Structure 1
Amino acid sequence: MDKIRCMVVDDEPLAIEILEEYINKVPWLSFVGSFDKGVEAIEYINKNTIDLLFLDIQMPDLSGIQVAQLIGKKCNVIFTTAYNQYAVVGFELEAKDYLLKPISFERFLKSVQRIKGSQEPLQKETDDFVFVKTEYKTKKIRLSDILYIEGMKDYLRIVTPTEKIMILQSFSKLLPTLPSNRFSRVHKSFVIALDAIDIIEKSKVKIKEQWIPIGESYKEGFLNEIQRRTV
């Protein structure tokens, strides 16, 4: 396999140095250079082959958002920034990932493995149902029927197309029983079924007629999971 040709665009020398070090640690990545100005980066990309661009968002001449818009789909883009409010914009621009500074090598490696196409396999499913205790009985619920789960103090409300089931349970105990490739926590009070999503809009998702908020601390992981499934 040919090495993935990587370039870094950032107005902070230390940020460039760290990413260059990370790139050089991975045998199938190749560091081809860096720029501290978006205009120079665009000119280089237009004349050369770049596979993967690590792009800072806040820069003095052109922002990373503007650079990404101007280069279109000439290369894969991973945004790097110290600010998490740009996650939705990154998703809309079809960035492959969104890395928050300071970037750990572990998080960097997970991101580039996604580009390589060698991410870890999805969690294996053993069952398509869970048993939950409600009132004085134990009820079987098919995972494919669950639309979302809402936290309500000491209770959880499991919502399906036909009923709402209240259980005395916490997310910390229920979540390990749900396959992570099918369910995602998007807010401290909500877990949603990914295949039940109808619309994603800024900081909320729509499932049937219900709009569900996306919490700031859950936004990056959720949007990265959605981006991985976007064609």
Structure 2
Amino acid sequence: MRKFKCLIIEDEPLAAEIITEYIQQVPHLQLVSVCVNAMEGLQLLKTETIDILFLDINLPQISGIDFMRSLVKKPAVIFITAHREYAIESYELGVIDYLLKPVSFSRFLMAVNKITERITVGDAVETQSQYKDYLFVNVSRKRQKIHFDEIIYFESKREYVNIVTQQGSYLTKIQLSELEKQLSADVFLRIHRSFIISKRKIKAYNTTEIDLAAVQVPIGRNYKEHVLAQLNQS
């Protein structure tokens, strides 16, 4: 099994020390760094490829939730907090797991196994997608085949994704972040926390929205710089 690179962003020394010790006990995990605030973490994410981010919610300067919203390319995230009330919001952001302090090793390992399995499957899907021009999704108890060149955009609907194509729409139960792993960055572009679009279907765009075959899709504030840079290169 390959090594999964980990980053901890946690301002409580004891909590950071515990997660560090847990990571060191798992052979396929590699701790890259421990950051005490989101800005330190952001700088590291610009230079390092991180597989798993252990992120405290109550951070100085900017909360873990707002920090995650600001990321265009997100690693797999495990929130660590002493507060239960953020659970629903965190899962809506695509967080893989939510650990309450104090975190036991068994609960930590359960979260890590969930992530490493998803990453391993995602790696396999990514390899396969290099040779495929379609994907299969679960729709109404069937596996529906959808060709990439038919897709106009994907829209997140909480725990579901609506796939809008030239032939119609398909609602499937999956997180948008998971579906994104099956898509080629050459063809598709994440422009909002709720939208991924097909570059081939763009009719026009400005700094706030993109026209796609008679529908306008908003560009998210936190995605704007990356999106416009990508489109201006086209």
- TM-score, length-scaled by structure 2: 0.51
The offset of 1:200, in angstroms, is 6.5
Contact 2:4 2:30 in 1 (8 A): yes
Q: Equivalent residue for 1:69?
A: 69
Q: Equivalent residue for 2:3?
A: 3
Matched, 1:58 2:45: no
Cα pair distance change 1:84/1:6, threshold 3 Å = same
Give CA deviations for 1:44-78 in whole Å, capped at 9, x if unaligned: 10221111000000011111011111123331110
* SS of equivalent residue, structure 1 residue 54: strand
- The one-letter code matched in structure 2 to 1:112 is V
Q: Equivalent residue for 1:112?
A: 112
| Paired residue total | 130
Cα pair distance change 1:28/1:36, threshold 3 Å = same
- Tell me, in whole angstroms, the C-alpha distance in 2 between the residues paired with 1:48 and 1:42: 10
Q: Equivalent residue for 2:86?
A: 86
CA RMSD of aligned residues (A): 2.8
For structure 1, list consecutive stretches of 5 or more residues without a partner in the other structure: 119-198, 202-225
Q: Equivalent residue for 2:32?
A: 32
- Tell me, in whole angstroms, the C-alpha distance in 2 between the residues paired with 1:44 and 1:23: 18
- Tell me, in whole angstroms, the C-alpha distance in 1 between the residues paired with 2:60 and 2:24: 27
Q: Equivalent residue for 2:15?
A: 15
- Tell me, in whole angstroms, the C-alpha distance in 1 between the residues paired with 2:95 and 2:50: 15
- Tell me, in whole angstroms, the C-alpha distance in 2 between the residues paired with 1:40 and 1:9: 8
Give CA deviations for 1:126-153 in whole Å, capped at 9, x if unaligned: xxxxxxxxxxxxxxxxxxxxxxxxxxxx
- Tell me, in whole angstroms, the C-alpha distance in 2 between the residues paired with 1:58 and 1:23: 21
Q: Percent of pairs identical after alignment?
A: 46
- Tell me, in whole angstroms, the C-alpha distance in 1 between the residues paired with 2:21 and 2:65: 24
Spell out the pairing of 1:141-156 with structure 2 (5 A cutoff): none
- TM-score, length-scaled by structure 1: 0.51
- The one-letter code matched in structure 1 to 2:86 is Y
- Tell me, in whole angstroms, the C-alpha distance in 2 between the residues paired with 1:83 and 1:6: 23
Contact 2:81 2:101 in 1 (8 A): yes
